A = this chain, B = another copy of it.
Amino acid sequence: MSDRDLLMIPGPIELEPSVLAVLGERQRGHLDPVFMKRFSRVLKGLREVFRAPTAQPFVLAGSGTLAMELAAANLVQPGEAALVVNTGYFSDRMGLALTRHGAEVAHVRSPPGAAPSLDEVKKALASQKFKVMTVTHVDTSTGVLAPVQEYAALAREAGVLSVVDGVCSVGAEALDMDAWGVDCALTGSQKALGAPPGLAVLLAGPRAMAAWRARTQPVRSLYLDFGEWLAIHEAYEAEKPSYFATPPVNLLAALDVSVGLILAEGMPARVARHVRMANAMRAAFKAMGLTTLPVSEGLAAHTLSALYYPAGVDAALVKAVAAQGVVIAGGLHPELKTKYFRVGHMGAVGANDVLATVSAVERALVASKAAVEPGSGVAAAERALA
């Protein structure tokens, strides 16, 4: 393995050099004016990335899973019902987080690679009085992109708060909290936001904040309570000193640089770039005879591809591709774990990365005697990128 190998897993991802550079700057204090300005810019910038001009952003030291639990902890009180629109491993996880905070959880499920239909979700929403409905925008385990806009509209109709787990989508997939009526969305720093891992990011819209304010029971965690963080985040946004727990200064500096790059590119252009790169990846994999785990093109994410191993090939492929200089990931969904692999393509991803990845997979497949026409994948990627 070389330090110049390409990191193409669905997070952590290759970072822009300027994001890495700011990480190694001398240590600043959490009340340093330069840091306060950065944190302020992060909070304001996230509203643009999530398209949520009236939402309250929270950025905490933690993983994407902590962000998921942050939503669960604050938006549901013990005994209240939550509907999980379940598209895989991470939807199951959201259900587990909700359960820990006392919610009564119901799932509307689909087979791996699919997503519940709008009718199924509508029916589920009508089956009892739910407080919240959660959706995994992109399930990192299956590469399924859920129709969040349509689901959110159904939740709104039913008077149910919608929570979007955007861990593998925000900063790459189209998302418009405001226009779509999404009440809460969240992610981790190491995915399409293009920063290192270690930050939990959540935006709570006005209805979500109102639901939190109307609680009659305390949040079952100190660290996860909006109430401990709200004034702190308001102060940092105004570049004023404040303290609850020490913010992860260095990671926030990196996120500041990355959010700056995202806004400079512009979200529509960034979404379009991800679509282009995903299409090129998929054209190449299709030309190599591989089948995606998502059962239709419309259900396939633009941040990662999940692909079944072809006949005669197994999980050893991941190591064989690494030996070609590109790091990809194995399967994660418990039912199919050994049957598929995953390639991330988000953040700073460009045509060079697509070509290198497609070629590394192709070379590894050819070496493993899979029925792949040498050069077919790279040729298809080139055509798609032309």
Among the listed B26, B62, B222, which residue makes an inter-chain contact with A61, where contact means beta carbons less than 8 Å apart?
B62
A215 within 8 A of B: no
Please state if A12 and B30 are interface contacts (CB–CB under 8 Å).
Answer: yes
Interfacial chain B residues near A249, Cβ < 8 Å: 12, 196-197
Please state if A246 and B188 are interface contacts (CB–CB under 8 Å).
Answer: yes
A220 within 8 A of B: yes
Please state if B24 and A20 are interface contacts (CB–CB under 8 Å).
Answer: yes
A248 within 8 A of B: yes
Please state if A29 and B221 are interface contacts (CB–CB under 8 Å).
Answer: no
Complex Cα spacing A93 to B24, Å: 32
Interfacial chain B residues near A245, Cβ < 8 Å: 63-66
A9 within 8 A of B: yes
Please state if A243 and B332 are interface contacts (CB–CB under 8 Å).
Answer: yes
Selected interface stretch from A95-103, A148-156, A275-283, A301-309: A95-103
Among the listed B188, B218, B248, which residue makes an inter-chain contact with A197, where contact means beta carbons less than 8 Å apart?
B248
Assess A248 versus B198: contact at CB under 8 Å? Given A29-B9, A220-B101.
Answer: yes
A76 within 8 A of B: no
A183 within 8 A of B: no
Interfacial chain B residues near A250, Cβ < 8 Å: 23, 196-198, 251
Chain A window 51-89, contacts with chain B (Cβ cutoff 8 Å), 1 for yes, 0 for no:
000000000111111100100010000000000000000
A27 within 8 A of B: yes
Among the listed B12, B31, B33, which residue makes an inter-chain contact with A28, where contact means beta carbons less than 8 Å apart?
B12
Please state if A32 and B327 are interface contacts (CB–CB under 8 Å).
Answer: yes
Complex Cα spacing A23 to B64, Å: 20
Interfacial chain B residues near A197, Cβ < 8 Å: 30, 61, 246-250
Q: What range describes how many residues of A lie at the interface?
A: 35 or more
Assess A27 versus B247: contact at CB under 8 Å? Given A100-B221, A327-B32.
Answer: no
Number of copies: 2
Query: A261-295: which have CB < 8 Å to B?
Result: none
Complex Cα spacing A251 to B332, Å: 25
Please state if A221 and B222 are interface contacts (CB–CB under 8 Å).
Answer: no
A190 within 8 A of B: yes
Please state if B69 and A223 are interface contacts (CB–CB under 8 Å).
Answer: yes
Please state if A33 and B1 are interface contacts (CB–CB under 8 Å).
Answer: yes
Chain A window 1-30, contacts with chain B (Cβ cutoff 8 Å), 1 for yes, 0 for no:
101000101011111000011011111111
Query: A25-56: which have CB < 8 Å to B?
Result: 25-34
Among the listed B11, B24, B224, which residue makes an inter-chain contact with A23, where contact means beta carbons less than 8 Å apart?
B24
Complex Cα spacing A93 to B225, Å: 13
A200–chain B nearest beta-carbon distance, Å: 8
Interfacial chain B residues near A29, Cβ < 8 Å: 7, 9, 12, 327
Interfacial chain B residues near A218, Cβ < 8 Å: 100
Complex Cα spacing A296 to B219, Å: 39
Complex Cα spacing A221 to B197, Å: 21
A253–chain B nearest beta-carbon distance, Å: 10
Among the listed B3, B13, B222, B248, which residue makes an inter-chain contact with A69, where contact means beta carbons less than 8 Å apart?
B222
Please state if B33 and A13 are interface contacts (CB–CB under 8 Å).
Answer: no
Assess A96 versus B222: contact at CB under 8 Å? Given A26-B3, A29-B9, A32-B327.
Answer: yes
Instruction: Write 29 A-B pairs (CB below 8 A) sorted by A numbering.
Output: A9-B29, A12-B29, A12-B246, A20-B24, A20-B25, A20-B27, A23-B23, A24-B24, A31-B329, A32-B327, A61-B61, A61-B66, A61-B199, A62-B223, A63-B245, A64-B245, A65-B244, A66-B223, A69-B222, A69-B223, A93-B222, A100-B220, A100-B222, A196-B248, A196-B249, A197-B250, A198-B248, A198-B250, A198-B251
